[in-house]
Amino acid sequence: MTVSRETLARAIAEDLVLDELPASFDVLGQRYSGKVRENFTRAGERLIIVSDRVSAFDCVLGTIPFKGQVLNQLAAYWFEITGDLFPNHLISIPDAQAVRAVECEPFMVEMVVRGYLTGSSSTSIWRAYDRGDRTFCGHQLADGMVRHQRLPANIVTPTTKAAKGEHDENRSKAQLVADGVISMELFDRLEQQCLSLFAHGQRLAAERGLILVDTKYELGRRPDGEIVLIDEIHTPDSSRYWYADGYDDAMAAGQDPRALDKEYVRTWLVSQGFTGDGQPPALPDEVRIEAAARYIETYERMTGRTFEPDMAPPVERLTAKLL
């Protein structure tokens, strides 16, 4: 990793993290604040500013230095190299921490693709399996599997798209169709597109010594009717990455594979007794720095590029570029 831990600590000390945006940014359009992203809609376009906020178990926990820059640039990379497999909303990248996109009507379903029996959140496939469930989002699971084991095939396990502060819920294809959320024909088409995209991501990750374990895809409909990817793709927020080297040894020893994603933060929260209910504990600086280091390493491994953070105060920088 090219960014030192001293630089990450300095970013925290000098408040070079983006948590909130002042009301002056409202001139950019109608505003909607998500868990991590600040969205501004105007004239058929959406400006998305990716904050440094981190969320887990559907709770906003604090900030991680340079996280917004990493997520935005890694998502842009993936959007650019996968546009022929699945179109997306990207127009341009006006800042390291911002994207201009086509305004889309979002689907109220997230397409979660899983390749392994893992996870720690309430909607994870492992939590369900561990409590005895052998059907997950309509998929049958065999007895005798162990945590972190690869599934026989990648599967799509949809969840509802929860509002900020609320929890996503697992749904099967049959439930979504029965509830009138989506037609069977459309779901089948999107399922195949998402599985193809995920398999492509797994191949590229493998070439870089990583395992793309699972991910979630958010979808929207453009004004021309085409269904596209929105939000982000294959980032450490939306995806789980493990080092390929050492996975077999970890499984043989009954240990967790070495990870390069937000699961580190989730695991720390669980160690503090927090799994989504009540007030989350404050993230210590050492946890924030370690999480940032993992985000940056994911970016550099996947893209083959050096991550060079913009060290300017984020609100001042974004004001100069966007207002």
Give 123's contacts (C-beta < 8 A, 6+ positions apart). 159, 167, 168, 169, 170
| Mean of pLDDT values over 291-312 | 96
Model confidence pLDDT, tens digit, residues 59-82: 899 999 999 999 999 999 999 999
Model confidence pLDDT, tens digit, residues 251-261: 999 999 999 88
| Entry pTM | 0.94
pLDDT range class, residue 165, cuts 50, 70, 90: low
pLDDT computed for residue 166 by the predictor:
61
| Mean of pLDDT values over 275-294 | 94
pLDDT computed for residue 122 by the predictor:
79
Sheet strand arrangement including 37-42: 30-33, 37-42, 45-50, 98-102, 90-95
Residue 185, number of CB atoms within 10 A of its CB: 9
pLDDT computed for residue 44 by the predictor:
96
Long-range pairs, 29-38, Cβ under 8 A, ≥24: 33/164, 34/164, 35/60, 35/164, 36/60, 36/68, 36/71, 36/237, 37/231
Percent of the chain with pLDDT over 70: 98
Q: Answer whether residue 112 shows pLDDT above 60.
A: yes
| Mean of pLDDT values over 110-135 | 94
Q: Answer whether residue 167 shows pLDDT above 80.
A: no
| Mean of pLDDT values over 99-116 | 96
Token duo for residue 161: 């798209």
Domain boundaries, the chain: 5-322
pLDDT computed for residue 163 by the predictor:
60
> How many H-runs (helices) and E-runs (strands) does the chain carry?
9, 15
Token duo for residue 265: 């933060």
CA distances from 211 to 3, 176, 204 (A): 23, 30, 9
Percent of the chain with pLDDT over 90: 91
Closest CA to 86 of 228, 224, 234, 220: 228
pLDDT computed for residue 66 by the predictor:
98
pLDDT range class, residue 217, cuts 50, 70, 90: very high
pLDDT computed for residue 315 by the predictor:
98
| C-alpha neighbours within 13 Å on the C-beta side of residue 214 | 27
Sign of CA dihedral 268, 274, 277, 282: negative
pLDDT computed for residue 123 by the predictor:
83
| DSSP one-letter code for 282 | P
Work out the burial of residue 100: count CB atoms within 10 Å of its CB; fewer than 13 is exposed, 13-18 middle, 19 or more buried: middle
Q: What gap in Å lies between CA 88 and CA 26, rounded to an integer? A: 25
| Mean of pLDDT values over 153-177 | 85
CB 101 within 8 A of CB 230: yes
| C-alpha neighbours within 13 Å on the C-beta side of residue 223 | 7
DSSP labels, 228-266:
EEES-SS-TTTEEEEESTTHHHHHHTT-PPPB-STHHHH
- Domain 5-322 in this protein, CATH class: alpha beta
Closest CA to 68 of 109, 46, 98: 98
Q: Answer whether residue 164 shows pLDDT above 60.
A: no
